[in-house]
Chains A and B, each alone.
Chain A
């Protein structure tokens, strides 16, 4: 094991801001992309479903 303790790990030899700043922003950006992709699909399917129902039941 290369780290003496957990605090040593999080300190990253004094480079915590740079190392964790890189990893944090990358995680946030990737999570945001996946969330946006899931939302796009959800809203699209809901819209397609609504227009399909409207075409089948024109009286409503």
Chain B
């Protein structure tokens, strides 16, 4: 094996690498968000149906995408942890959950503020909105269950099982607008056909989506570094870290 990827599964190897990558991901997030907001507010035209209200899209859609994608990544690390019993996998899953919950909250909040002027209501119990709310409860449930069990290994395993069972909700969210007759509109962007929106609107939205990716990676790396230090606080490599010796 020329390239041993498993080496990076060791917390003491991953900790400094993540530390070096955080500023880069944050910088990329800031630059992409600045570009995306500029295009979104100063280049993209007014929507002929929704007026300026549609400009919520530049945070709503990226946040909604991230809320689902982070859950899938979290469930993936839970599965890896359960099968291979790797410590870092569980730590990564635990680090992703709060950021995922945050993205879900932002998607729900901006959706509500968008629904009021366009649908005439802040909230409706339709399939898309309800399944996204369930996603928020799944994140909160994952974190609460983990916090409720004192033994970290048992907490990891129990919360991971919950995360895996809950993963079935993600395709339900994604396809809800096709499976049920929802108030929420269908996908504006899909892999199988041309997007149904102006090019500049799409460009702004995709830039914001990439910014949300970079931000989420940076935030979860920041969190996983704290989790690593908490769990490995008795290890020699932690004691020898310069930031621990002279905080």
Contacts and interface: CB of A to CB of B under 8 A. Distances in A.
Given A2-B45, A29-B102, A40-B226, A49 B219 contact: no
A33 B226 CA distance: 14
A37 B226 contact: yes
Interface of A is mostly: helix
A41 B233 CA distance: 13
Given A18-B113, A18-B117, A19-B52, A44 B246 contact: no
Nearest to A32: B102
Contacts of A45: 229, 243-244, 247
Q: Which residue, of A14, A30, A37, A41, has the highest number of chain B Cβ atoms within 10 A?
A: A37
Given A33-B98, A48-B229, A18 B109 contact: no
Interface in B14-49: 41-43, 45-46
A13 interface: yes
Interface residues of B, number: 40
Interface of B: 41-43, 45-46, 51-53, 55-56, 59-60, 63, 98-99, 102, 105-106, 109-110, 113-114, 116-117, 215, 219, 222-223, 225-226, 229-230, 233, 238-239, 243-247
Which 10 A-B residue pairings sit nearest by Cβ, starting from the closest? A13-B52, A45-B247, A49-B247, A15-B53, A22-B110, A12-B52, A18-B113, A37-B222, A13-B51, A22-B56
